[in-house]
Amino acid sequence: NAGVTQTPKFRVLKTGQSMTLLCAQDMNHEYMYWYRQDPGMGLRLIHYSVGEGTTAKGEVPDGYNVSRLKKQNFLLGLESAAPSQTSVYFCASSLPGTSLYEQYFGPGTRLTVT
Amino acid sequence: GQSLEQPSEVTAVEGAIVQINCTYQTSGFYGLSWYQQHDGGAPTFLSYNALDGLEETGRFSSFLSRSDSYGYLLLQELQMKDSASYFCAVVTGANNLFFGTGTRLTVIP
């Protein structure tokens, strides 16, 4: 059981470049999330998905897009990276409904945009 | 909207007890979760309170008072490995958690 995995672990982009972060979970969870964490800050929700083929905006969705084509995968895309998107990105998954209080997090992706 | 307040830093001595408070204001509330995050690591779930009262899990306990919009995490018999950041998070019923900005706990010998 790998839990939640994220690819890549580190990435450096130049302003204007694009990239996709991949998240995979093997726990058969319905819900998946993308968060960003900036120094000294909590986790802020970017987008989330309550099931295959569905996505929704979170607290800070601007500049990001997501897709959930398969239940086990949740992709986060940056179409035109900006320095303000330098952050650590965490993916998480959970059971549905009010069981979402217990989320399982991946190891994170450290992204630097220069 | 939602807001959570918790102290930014707490320092405690190894073997002692420490309490990390969290107050919240939300438009909907189902419960309060606590997460631990070591430097460079991922957040890990510690506990959850949906009802008023104390929940105990080993050395860690969590308390909730819905009428006061207040909760706390209690860590007993502190160990050096407990040095980490601790986040409270509310379940608002909107299919997601809303996290506080975290409390950095430093355990000193």
What would the DSSP string read from start to end of A50-94? EETTEEEE-SS-TTEEEE-SSTTEEEEEESS--GGG-EEEEEEEE
| Distances in whole angstroms, Cα of residue A24 to Cα of each of A16, A18, A61, A73, B100 | 26, 20, 20, 5, 26
A1: confidence class by pLDDT, cuts 50, 70, 90: confident
A3: confidence class by pLDDT, cuts 50, 70, 90: very high
B93 phi, psi to nearest 5 deg: 90, 0
Mutate to test the interface with A, among B22, B49, B55, B96 (most CBs of A within 10 A): B96
Q: What is the pLDDT of residues B6-30, one digit of tens each?
A: 999 999 999 999 999 999 999 889 9
State whether residue B7 sits within 8 Å of chain A by CB. Answer: no
pLDDT of B75 higher than 80: yes
Which residue of chain B is at minimal alpha-carbon distance from A30?
A: B95
Q: What is the pLDDT of residues A67-103, one digit of tens each?
A: 999 999 999 999 999 999 999 999 999 988 778 899 9
Q: What's the pLDDT at A2?
A: 84
Q: What would you measure as the largest C-alpha separation in chain A, in angstroms?
A: 40
Average pLDDT, chain A: 95
Which residue of B8, B96, B101 is in closest CB contact with A58? B96
Q: What's the pLDDT at B12?
A: 97
What is the rounded distance in angstroms from the CA atom of residue B42 to the CA atom of residue B53? 28
- The whole-number average pLDDT for the span B39-57 is 95
B94: confidence class by pLDDT, cuts 50, 70, 90: low
What is the rounded distance in angstroms from the CA atom of residue A8 to the CA atom of residue B4? 31
Residue A70 carries which side chain, given as an amino acid letter?
K
Average pLDDT, chain B: 95
pLDDT of B85 higher than 70: yes
